[in-house]
Amino acid sequence: MSPISSEISAAIVIDVVPKQPFFSCVDQSSLANLVKEKSLEQLAKLGGNEGISASLNTDLQHGINEDIASRQEAFGTNTYQKQPAKSFFHFIWEAFKDPTILILLACAALSLGFGMKEDGPREGESDHVEIDQSKNPFLFSGTKVADGYDKMLVTSVGMNTFWGAMMSSISRDSDEQTPLQAHLSRLTSSIGKVGLVVAFLVLVVLLVDDVINAVVGIIATTITIVVVAIPEGDTTAAVTIVVVAIPEGLPLAVTLTLAYSMKRMMADQAMVRKLSACETMGSATTICTDKTGTLTMNQMKVTKFWQGKESVEGTNYTLIASSVYKSKANLEFSGSPTEKAILSWAVLELNMDMEAVKMGCNILHVEAFNSAKKRSGILMKKIEDDTFHVHWKGAAEMILAMCSHYYDLEGNMKALNDQERMTFDQIIQGMAASSLRCIALAHKQVPEVHHDKKIQENELTLMGFVGLKDPCRPGVKKAVEDCQYAGVNIKMITGDNIFTAKAVATECGILYHNQEFNDGAVVEGVEFRNYTEEERMTKVDRIRVMARSSPFDKLLMVRCLKNKGHVVAVTGDGTNDAPALKEADIGLSMGIQGTEVAKESSDIVILDDNFASVATVLRWGRCVYNNIQKFIQFQLTVNVAALAINFVAAVSAGEVPLTAVQLLWVNLIMDTLGALALATEKPTRELMEKRPVGRTEPLISKVMWRNLLAQALYQITVLLTLQFKGESILGVSEKINDTVIFNTFVLCQVFNEFNARKLEKKNVFEGIHRNKLFLGIIGITVVLQVVMVEFLKKFADTERLNWGQWGVCIVIAAASWPIGFLVKFSPVPERPLFSYFSLKKIRAIQAVLRH
């Protein structure tokens, strides 16, 4: 060793070794992916349960030590990230983006500027899945244990779990507008633009009139210098017209309608989680529904049993019921509906001693049922003779394919040839055609058990077929017919085989009797999945039933239907239904069978899991949409009449008959009280007699245009007549005449509110005695108007009217009832008016004229 200099030897050298983290052998991402991908290979690389527990410093028997802080630092806390609550200022900022609000703010600024003063589970399904240490040792957060007990090793918490990721993805807000919101945005924008144009023209006309008068005054008085300012009254009239034109009462009407409907829907077994879903349901064109528990009662019962090629009646099941006893106690069965049905059949009808059977064998291995393989199996050892046996049960066609022999009615084993297979296939199809879920039972004695304990899947002996009936819910066929009569397509998406699916769909009225498979109405999930995008878009409208489907197939269908312009409602109850529920325009989860993830993903929870309640939600949705249309017709009648009257009067006479306070008063009582009155109309039978509006139908229909234009034209004609000839006709002063115009205008709206109750029916008084709120609001409106005219003269710029003048106002206003009745005899063209003036047709006519 060479000597070290004194300078170097005097120095102290310290070798710093960085401190290893507390959990150095494993990281959070690998643990999360391990469970998410269910990778047995990765589990083996990490040393299995023992290796992971050692890496996590966890005792498999006693759990963790007191090192909570270091674990939280490494793996996070067992909490979920929630979307931050939106502040009050956020909503203010969002409101400022609304053009309507901007216009109203501009009007307020003008008013101030000009000094205007007012004068007045794991796989996603609800199936039970077996958990074991060798084949499926993975357990997701949020899983519900249906049977058994065990200990689990926690590898992820909080946002690192599957549940956390799912809840995070489904809690994000969507900026997608509902069909009604899109219609309302376009409507308010259009009306606002028209109001601005009219107000600008009124302002220009009044200013020109004032300027002309000023110039005449200059010439007459030989004044050489005059400063002409914008008169306050001109600005007041223009700003008031803008405020009246903008339907700011629409949001209030929509909110009142939705809130009222939401409360009433709760009594009809529908809990609304998203307010806008009420009106969106009214636009629905397609409903994709589950079968089990929604169309059916989810109460399975064994109604048929085939042993060999013979149907066995009664309890003469010699092969199955090898040991019997008489049941004396009320037993409770647990498991899936299918398992409970078979167990109850075995115990209560075959009188099998299940405890004796269980004590007479040891279960060595279990392969749990899953929605892909449609089967489950066990490997067992009989205690009395130490023999090993394999038992399988599952979808009949799946089990039959695994068999090489079968037992006949006498218990003799026979070979299963091609002819016998065809016979059994016909038996399966016959049971399925009777709406039975066909379950096959198979058995095999094996000579030995391999170390991997794999359950043999071939050369089995068919023991028999069990037919389970899940009866359709009472009233479901009527509900399906109501939806179809309303123009809504019903599509059933189920995991059952194609024959059972067709039978149930026919029983529920989704398919017609004797409808063929080859017409495209019935498909299997794998077939639909393997279509090209163009094929799916072409065939999706014809599909009525999709059998043997997965949650992904449901999501694929929803996307396809939305791309074709449908407004889609989807029912779902499983965790894997969450993407389809979120993708749909309206997600409907099941309150009884539904998982928490499904409910969180949905817009409406059907509390009784009944399709009839889905039809009720559809009826309420249409009621909401219809009530909003009623208010829009009522509101636009007021707007059109007020704009036209003030514009014509301003252009012709240089003054407006309705003052700013009077117009604002009309705006106030009609927007608030009118909205409340029309928002509380209940669903009627006629709502289900119309086709759905969908995404493309205009919010203001041709019927609405006919009604509102007729009423507006009558009001404009009468009030302009009073404006120009009222003083001579009535023999009153100008002030009294102006008051009569104002009073008549308000009363016209009161009477027209009755007309708005029915858009198409001629009898607008039908059922009015049942709507006490409507009658009360009408009474309050009339009382307020009397107070406004008779007692607030200075504020409203009115004069008191005598009984005769009140009679004139009432008679003129009441004439809107016969006008509304007669105008409904006028037919409405099927084609829109503007379609007759399309650009292509105009060019075609020009081409013909040129030649």
Q: How many residues does the chain have?
A: 851
CA-to-CA distance for 15 and 421, rounded, in angstroms? Answer: 79
List b or e across 339-363, with b for residues whose CB sees 16 or more CB atoms inside 10 angstroms.
bbbbbbbbbeebebbeeeeeeebee
Tokens representing 729 are: 């006709």
Report yes or no: 210 and 231 within 8 Å, Cβ to Cβ: yes
CA-to-CA distance for 155 and 53, rounded, in angstroms? Answer: 9
Q: Hey, which residues are catalytic here?
A: 290
Report yes or no: 442 and 459 within 8 Å, Cβ to Cβ: no
Report yes or no: 343 and 333 within 8 Å, Cβ to Cβ: yes
Which residue has 């406004």 as its token pair? 788
Strand partners, 571: 588
Pairing of strands 545-547, 522-524: parallel
Tokens representing 615 are: 């039809």
CA-to-CA distance for 65 and 23, rounded, in angstroms? Answer: 14
Compute φ and ψ for 128, nearest 5 degrees. -85, 130
CA-to-CA distance for 304 and 192, rounded, in angstroms? Answer: 68
CA-to-CA distance for 658 and 723, rounded, in angstroms? Answer: 10
DSSP H helices in 574-701:
578-583, 596-601, 611-653, 660-679
CA-to-CA distance for 626 and 721, rounded, in angstroms? Answer: 34
Task: Provide the 10 A C-beta neighbour count for residue 140.
Answer: 18
CA-to-CA distance for 707 and 693, rounded, in angstroms? Answer: 19
Q: What is the DSSP string of 703-718?
A: HHHHHHHHHHHHHHHH
DSSP, collapsed to helix, strand or coil, labels residue 637 as: helix
Longest dimension (CA), the chain: 132
Which residue has 């009246």 as its token pair? 244
DSSP state for residue 459 in the 8-state scheme? S
DSSP, collapsed to helix, strand or coil, labels residue 492 as: strand
CA-to-CA distance for 641 and 717, rounded, in angstroms? Answer: 9
Q: Taking the C-alpha atoms of 264, 267, 269 and 270 in order, what is their torsion angle to the nearest 10 degrees?
A: 20
DSSP, collapsed to helix, strand or coil, labels residue 384 as: coil
User: Whose CA is closest to 461, among 427, 433, 424?
Assistant: 424
CA-to-CA distance for 129 and 742, rounded, in angstroms? Answer: 74
Helix (H) or strand (E) holding 788: helix 772-790
